Structures are given as C-alpha cells and as structure tokens.
C-alpha cells in the first residue's frame, strides 16, 4: 500500500480569495466563508470540480494572511488559523489565542492509496457531539463510526452505520467549543479516541479530498447557526404534519384507511395524517394505484379530507423492470437509470422484484421524477414518504461498478437519498403551487434539511430503542436536522401496552409524531390497548395539540437560526458535565422552555438531572432547584417534563385536527421567575408560502416579573391571527391564575395583574 504524508510546504500563493499552499503531495486551499467559518481543502486533484451537495454558500471575496519563515497565519475576528509549514499542519485558535483544535503534530494528514485520513490532537477533557443518526452515547468520545448509508432493518442500539450520513461534529473542551464538517461523500470514518490509547482522534474517507469547514463560534447554538447557514435551513413545515400521524405497513385497502381515520374521530383522538405504505400500488410500481384495493383514489382522498385528514404515500426509488409501465419505458428510452460501465442499466431487486434506479444526480432525471408526482397529487396527496433510498437492494451489496452519470456508486451512495428527496421536494413544490409539500426521507446527507424531514428507520419495540430514539432525534438536531421522527411503538415486534403508552408520551415531544409498524404486527392504533390506555394516549395526543402554537413557533426558530426543536442539554448547558452522564444523556429541551426526561416503560420512578436555574414539574407545578439530581415519580400517565422558570408556552384548546378552527383563544402559560423572559411567537396560515411575502404574524411575548406584566409587542407581518382572544395563565405563582381575557389586537398589548 502506498503511504504518503502531506509533507512540508513548498510554496504559498494567493489566488483571489483563496490561499494555496503546495506540498510535494497535495495542495491545501484555504478560504474564508465568514469570520467564524474557515474552509480547508487538502486535495490531490486541485483541478477537479469543486462541488458540494451540502454547502449553499460562497466564500468571502478576500483572504488576508501573514507569513513568517515557519508559519502562515490567517486571522478573522472570530478565529485564528496557524499553519506550520514544515510539515504542513493546521491549528485553530480563538482570537485570544486559546486552542480549539489542531492536527496531531506527528501524523497530520496522510494517504494510503486513495484513502485520506486526518489525525487531530485530543484534549484531556474533550467531548464530542453530533454525527447525526448514530447510535451510542451523547458524548461520542471513545467511539468510532462509519458513514455508509445502509438499509439497517433490524438494527440494534449498537448498529453502525444506519441510514444517514452527517459528517459534522462539535468538539467541547475547557471552556471552548468548535465545529468540524468533513464534506466528503465517500465512505467515511470518525474515531474519537476509541482505538489509539486516547492519543488522538482520526477521521477520513476512502477517497476524495480532506475537505473540511471549521466553525469557531463559542456556543453550540451559534455553531449550529453557522453550520445551517452554510448548509441551509428547513422551511416552515405544513402545520398538519405536526399533528398526530398514523401509519402502518400497510392499511391494505382504501376502506381500511378510511375506517381507521373514522375511528380516530369516533374515539375523539386528535389526528391529522393517514399513510399508505407500499401496498397501495399496483405490484409496488411507483406512481401507480392498485385498481382493486384503491379503485378511486380521488374519491378516497376526498373522504379523508372530509374528515380533516391528509394522506401521505410512500415512494421508493426502484422502478420495476416491466415493459408497458410508464416510468420504466420512459426511463429506459431516455437513459435515466443507473448503469454498468458498459452502458447496460443496472438491475437490483427490491419490493417490486427486478428494478432500475433513477440517476437523481441529473437535473433532467430529477425533473422527470418530480413531474410524475401528479399521479399522487391529482387525487389529493400532499405528503411524500421517500424510502429505501440508501439505496437499498436486497442483500445490500450494490456493485461498486454501478454508475450514476460519470460517478461510481462508492462516490455518491451517501447522497443518493438526499438527491431523491430533493427531486421529490422540488417536483411536488412545483406541482402543488403555493401549498407546502411534506417530504420525509430515510436516507440523508448534510443539507437534507432543505428538502425533507427524516425518520430513524426500522427500530424495534423495546425500551432500549425508546431511549435510543430520543438520542437519535437529539443528535440529528445538532447536525442540522430539526424535523425528525421515530416509529412510535417500535417498527418491529409488538410493544407491551405500557410501552405503547410511554412511547406516545415521549412521542408528543418529538418533532414528527408518527405511529408506524411492520407488516403482520399487532395493530397499533391508540384504541388497541383497552379503554384505560386509550384514555392515557388520548390525553397525551391532546397535550400535543394544545402545544401546537408553542411547537410551531419552535419550528419557526429553527427556520431562522438552525436551533433544533429537540435540543440535547449539551446545547444550552454545554459545559455542565452531568448532561453527558449516561443516566441523563437522553434528556432534552423541547423548544425553549420544556425539559423532557424520557423514561422506560417498566420504571415508575426516574432519576433526572435539572441544570442550573429553577424548574417546575409541568403536571403538578412542583418547584425544583436546578443544578441537582432528583429521583421523581414517573407513573405511566406522567413522564417527567419540567418547565423552565420564566418559560412562556403559548397553547390552544384541544382540537381534533389542525384544520379545526378551535375556540379562538391563545392561552399564554407563563412560569414564574424572578428574571424577565421573552418568547418569539410566530403564526401563519400553516399551509402556503404566503409567509415568504410577509403574510405571517410575529410578536415578542415578554414576561416582566418586577412590573407583573406580560407584554405582547405589536405584530410584525400581515397575517391575522386565528386567535381572537388572549388569556395569560400564571403558573408556579402562589396559585394558578387565569388573567382576564383580552382581544388579540395587532398593537402592543400589556397584560397586568
């Protein structure tokens, strides 16, 4: 095996906004994206195309540097990059000179044949969070991971890799933080001191460049803001998709879907979404409907609509090899499928049997795919579930010689799912006109948040998976993906009634709340577990609907700052080591003000850690001092959730669907505190893109304990709130107090008590 070190600098040169340092082996290209984001691309193919699926920003026009005999120094207001020339090594510091992260002096960057790896110094107390959909602990230290999008059905809480690739992590040591994004789509590796006597971390890829973006902001939140500035943020999701979603593999007929939907209404269990898994199609052919079981899709969806339900249908990438099937014929005729090097179309087997796979890397193929959704949108589908896009073929092993245009499978496998989601999003957005499509994908790469939500694939009905799900959601959140769900109840296996109850309680605090299960499993709808459990699950779902004004505002925050909806405590309490303890690592903030402590179904008490500040148990109002561990009750009807002192939680009355008008009252729950606090309230029509033209309703809600007031600033935006009245509810005060209702005027409103 050919082994090459990066070697010493031979020349330093500035070409417009790029600093180019050449060694005998490679070139390092340094560009500045913002004062806190610097890119280093160490490449052996400097003339190659410089393309990224993730990054949507351009570097700044200027780069300035100083040079001495030993060093090159690049300084911005937020970062100092010191590059030692011999051998060429990179070290990042704060402007004050505190070390953030640097190459390992001995090994730096090197190659074994095409494989490139980078060795980085490990600090004694260093912790790592992120890498997206990865099992294991919140703190990734002493663990190693591979990125290779995989159909990981039957995965365990130890399986790696899973379905998605987010080669981005945040390092934390001393009082500092930094972010690191390796934008390389090949199979990649991250080892956080797992296999080298804690001497260094190492990361790299099978091929391609050591192409990374270094983030120097000094809070996790601001690093996320920069990372999502670079790779994009999600847009406002359709409000209906934040309601309860009911799925199953599969409801076999239109009548069965309708029966389940009407049962929700009969049982007064709020719900918004029904799903069709693969069996709605004819022979699993994408963009078809089974004539016998779904004979009149439009009439069927009209009936769902009349019950205030939306429908989401699944699409897989595999196009069945069958003459006379439109997508097959067109794809073959136009050469839209992945091929072998001799030009033959690749064939792999998935649900429909032998399939071809669209080359989603081509714009014309994406357009063709996107336009085909009329088969689903014309009858009324508004949500599009993209599955099997790792891409999955039976036995997993898509041959390495399969080509997508001029690229071989190993180069682009990790982005295939993202490009499918992109084609689906672009296409359905166009077809639906001004309506927001809901797109969900299983495989993803950094930047997928621009197109789609993700779920964590085929989990299992165990308590371990319940807790793992919370960690996966939180880890995806610190990797740019805020809109995430897990299969509530566990996809495989059958949950006990207690597990189903507990998992639904956690589900209401998950960005996407979907109940889904494997073929031939027991039915999972809320009424399958007896009257008493139905009552509990109904109550949780009602709580979810009450919280929608709060949740929708949290999503708005994500669209503006990249801060996720479910936030590991490592975001706000980064330097508090208790948040990384295994006992507490599953806890998270849901939006700004609620702390959720997931608990397994067999435990009726829980150890929780409340970080600094005061907290109140949401269900009882009991007050707790932060910075401490507690053993608290966790009965099945009440998983521990705490409101932060000063939390402002806008709520509404219980409705059966987001399409219900409700009673028009916005209840603003305010949790007592000695300090003032503010919440950014956001509302729009929930359904269209009119908000992009200013048709939204946004105001700050400020609680000022000293003056005993809640103030709503005057409204920004041209949307008229659906709430005509406002009622402040004081919690954690001597007694719960409901203050007299006021009209929801657009001018400033001051509510006193």
Q: Quick one: which of 43, 52, 153, 199 contacts ligand GLC (CB under 6 A)? A: 153
Q: Does residue number 317 form part of the binding site for ligand GLC (CB under 6 A)?
A: no
Compute the least distance from the CB of residue 147 to ligand GLC, in Å. Answer: 19
List the beta bridge partners of residue 454.
Answer: 441, 484
Strands 438-441 and 453-455, how do they pair? parallel
Compute the least distance from the CB of residue 590 to ligand GLC, in Å. Answer: 24
Compute the least distance from the CB of residue 153 to ligand GLC, in Å. Answer: 5
Pick the closer one to ligand GLC by CB: 272 or 387.
Answer: 387
Pick the closer one to ligand GLC by CB: 153 or 688.
Answer: 153
* Residues in region 215-274 near ligand GLC by CB under 6 A: 249
Pick the closer one to ligand GLC by CB: 42 or 461.
Answer: 461
Residue of this chain nearest to ligand GLC (CB atom): 249
| CA of residue 364 relative to chain centroid, distance | 28
Residues in contact with ligand GLC, shown as a per-residue x/- string from 387 to 416 under the rule CB under 6 A: x-----------------------------
* Residues in region 504-563 near ligand GLC by CB under 6 A: 516
CA–CA distance, 127 with 573 (Å, rounded to integer): 13
Compute the least distance from the CB of residue 456 to ligand GLC, in Å. Answer: 10
Pick the closer one to ligand GLC by CB: 316 or 426.
Answer: 316
Q: Quick one: which of 278, 482, 499, 595 contacts ligand GLC (CB under 6 A)? A: 278
CA–CA distance, 284 with 293 (Å, rounded to integer): 13
* Residues in region 686-745 near ligand GLC by CB under 6 A: none
CA–CA distance, 365 with 285 (Å, rounded to integer): 18
CA angle, residues 548, 553, 554, in degrees to nearest 5: 95
Compute the least distance from the CB of residue 312 to ligand GLC, in Å. Answer: 12
Question: DSSP string covering 447-488, please?
Answer: TGGGT-EEE--S-BSSHHHHHHHHHHHHHHHTTT--SEEEEE
Token pair, residue 283, equals 């022979």
Q: Quick one: which of 277, 543, 592, 684 contacts ligand GLC (CB under 6 A)? A: 277
CA–CA distance, 542 with 94 (Å, rounded to integer): 47
Compute the least distance from the CB of residue 487 to ligand GLC, in Å. Answer: 7
Question: DSSP string covering 330-380, please?
Answer: HHHHHT-B-B-TTSPBP-EEETTEEEE-B-TTSHHHHHHHHHTTHHHHTTT
Question: Other C-beta atoms within 10 Å of 693: how many?
Answer: 10
Main-chain phi, psi angles of 640, to 5 degrees? -65, 120
Which residues, other chains included, contact 711 with Cβ-Cβ below 8 Å and sequence gap of 6+?
700, 701, 702, 704, 748, 749, 750, 751
Q: Quick one: which of 458, 543, 667, 685 contacts ligand GLC (CB under 6 A)? A: 458
Pick the closer one to ligand GLC by CB: 436 or 442.
Answer: 442
DSSP, collapsed to helix, strand or coil, labels residue 725 as strand
Residues with catalytic function: 387, 390, 458
CA–CA distance, 531 with 74 (Å, rounded to integer): 66
Compute the least distance from the CB of residue 55 to ligand GLC, in Å. Answer: 29
Compute the least distance from the CB of residue 392 to ligand GLC, in Å. Answer: 8
Pick the closer one to ligand GLC by CB: 188 or 386.
Answer: 386
Compute the least distance from the CB of residue 124 to ligand GLC, in Å. Answer: 41
Main-chain phi, psi angles of 279, to 5 degrees? -75, -5
Pick the closer one to ligand GLC by CB: 137 or 313.
Answer: 313
Edge-to-edge strand order for the sheet containing 89-93?
65-67, 71-75, 80-84, 89-93, 99-102
CA–CA distance, 359 with 326 (Å, rounded to integer): 17
* DSSP 8-state symbol, 121: E
Residues in contact with ligand GLC, shown as a per-residue x/- string from 73 to 92 under the rule CB under 6 A: --------------------
Compute the least distance from the CB of residue 142 to ligand GLC, in Å. Answer: 30
Pick the closer one to ligand GLC by CB: 493 or 626.
Answer: 493
Q: Does residue number 457 form part of the binding site for ligand GLC (CB under 6 A)?
A: yes
Rounded alpha-carbon distances, angstroms, from residue 14 to 19, 31, 72, 80: 5, 10, 12, 18
Pick the closer one to ligand GLC by CB: 315 or 412.
Answer: 315
Compute the least distance from the CB of residue 387 to ligand GLC, in Å. Answer: 5
Pick the closer one to ligand GLC by CB: 493 or 621.
Answer: 493
> Helix-strand-coil percent breakdown of the chain, rounded to 5?
20, 30, 45
Q: Quick one: which of 79, 100, 234, 314 contacts ligand GLC (CB under 6 A)? A: 314
Question: DSSP string covering 132-180, please?
Answer: SS--S-SS-TT-EEEE-----TT--TT----SEE--EEEEEETTEEEEE
113-138 b/e (C-beta count within 10 Å ≥ 16 → b): eebbbbbbbbbeebbbbbbbbbbbbb
Pick the closer one to ligand GLC by CB: 111 or 513.
Answer: 513
Number of residues that bind ligand GLC (CB under 6 A): 10
Rounded alpha-carbon distances, angstroms, from residue 485 to 244, 260, 405: 11, 21, 33
Residues 732, 645 contacting (CB under 8 angstroms): yes
Question: Other C-beta atoms within 10 Å of 105: how many?
Answer: 13
Residues near ligand GLC (CB under 6 A) are 153, 249, 277-278, 314, 387, 442, 457-458, 516
């Amino acid at each position: 095996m050919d082994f090459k070190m990066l070697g010493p600098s031979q020349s330093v040169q500035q070409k417009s906004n790029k600093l180019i340092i050449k060694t005998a082996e490679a070139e390092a290209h340094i560009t500045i994206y913002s004062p806190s984001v610097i890119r280093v691309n160490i490449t052996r193919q400097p003339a190659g195309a410089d393309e990224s699926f993730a990054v949507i920003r351009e570097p700044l026009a200027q780069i300035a540097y100083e040079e001495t005999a030993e060093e090159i120094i690049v300084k911005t207001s937020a970062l100092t990059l010191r590059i030692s020339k011999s051998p060429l090594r990179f070290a990042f510091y704060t402007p004050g000179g505190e070390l953030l992260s640097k190459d390992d002096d001995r090994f730096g960057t090197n190659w074994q044949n095409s494989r490139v790896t980078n060795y980085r110094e490990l600090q004694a107390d260093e912790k790592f969070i992120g890498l997206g959909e990865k099992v294991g602990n919140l703190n990734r230290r002493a663990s190693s991971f591979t990125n290779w999008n995989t159909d990981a059905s039957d995965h365990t809480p130890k399986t790696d890799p899973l379905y998605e690739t987010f080669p981005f992590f945040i390092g934390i040591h001393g009082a500092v933080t930094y972010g690191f994004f390796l934008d390389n789509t090949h199979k990649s590796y991250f080892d956080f001191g797992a296999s080298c006597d804690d001497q260094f971390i190492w990361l790299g890829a099978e091929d391609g460049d050591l192409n990374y973006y270094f983030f120097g902001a000094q809070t996790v939140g601001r690093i996320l803001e920069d990372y999502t500035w670079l790779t994009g943020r999600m847009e406002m999701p359709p409000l209906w998709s934040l309601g309860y979603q009911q799925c199953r593999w599969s409801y076999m007929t239109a009548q069965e879907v309708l029966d389940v939907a009407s049962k929700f209404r009969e049982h007064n269990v709020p719900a918004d979404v029904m799903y069709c898994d693969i069996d709605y199609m004819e022979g699993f052919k994408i963009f078809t409907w089974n004539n016998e079981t779904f004979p009149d899709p439009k009439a069927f969806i009209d009936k769902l609509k009349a019950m205030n339900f939306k429908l989401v249908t699944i699409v897989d990438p595999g196009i069945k090899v069958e003459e006379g099937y439109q997508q097959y014929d067109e794809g073959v005729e136009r050469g839209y499928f992945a091929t072998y090097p001799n030009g033959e179309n690749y064939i792999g087997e998935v649900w429909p049997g032998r399939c071809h796979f669209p080359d989603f890397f081509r714009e014309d193929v994406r357009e063709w795919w996107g336009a085909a959704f009329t088969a689903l949108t014309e009858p009324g589908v508004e949500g599009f579930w993209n599955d099997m896009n790792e891409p999955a073929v039976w036995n997993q092993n898509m041959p390495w010689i399969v080509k997508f245009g001029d690229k071989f499978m190993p180069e682009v496998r990790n982005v295939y799912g993202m490009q499918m989601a992109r084609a689906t999003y672009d296409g359905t957005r166009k077809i639906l006109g001004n309506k927001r499509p809901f797109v969900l994908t299983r495989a993803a790469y950094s930047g997928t948040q621009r197109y789609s939500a993700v779920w964590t694939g085929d989990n299992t009905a165990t308590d371990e998976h319940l807790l793992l799900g919370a960690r996966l959601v939180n880890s995806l959140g610190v990797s740019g993906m805020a809109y995430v769900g897990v299969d509530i109840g566990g996809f495989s296996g059958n949950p006990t009634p207690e597990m189903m109850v507990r998992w639904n309680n956690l589900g209401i605090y998950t960005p996407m709340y979907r109940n889904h299960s494997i073929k031939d499993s027991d039915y999972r709808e809320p009424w399958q577990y007896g009257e008493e459990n139905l009552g509990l699950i109904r109550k949780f779902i009602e709580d979810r609907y009450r919280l929608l004004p709060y949740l929708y505002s949290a999503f708005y925050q994500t669209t503006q700052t990249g801060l996720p909806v479910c936030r590991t405590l490592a975001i706000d309490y980064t330097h508090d080591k208790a948040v990384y303890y295994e006992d507490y690592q599953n806890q998270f903030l849901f939006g700004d003000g609620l702390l959720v402590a997931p608990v397994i179904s067999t435990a009726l008490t829980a150890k929780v850690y409340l970080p600094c500040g005061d907290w109140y148990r949401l269900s009882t109002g009991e007050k707790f001092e932060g910075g401490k561990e507690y053993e608290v009750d966790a009965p099945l009807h009440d998983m521990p959730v705490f409101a932060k002192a000063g939390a402002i939680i806008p709520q509404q009355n219980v409705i059966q669907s987001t399409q219900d008008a409700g009673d028009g009252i916005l209840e603003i729950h305010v949790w007592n505190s000695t300090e003032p606090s503010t919440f950014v309230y956001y509302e729009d029509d929930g359904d269209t893109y009119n908000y992009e033209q200013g048709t939204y309703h946004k105001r700050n809600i400020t609680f000022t304990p000293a003056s005993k007031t809640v103030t709503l600033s005057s409204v920004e935006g041209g949307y008229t709130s659906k709430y005509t009245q406002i009622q402040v509810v004081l919690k954690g005060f001597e007694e719960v107090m409901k203050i007299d209702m006021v009209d929801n005027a657009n001018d400033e409103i001051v509510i006193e008590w």
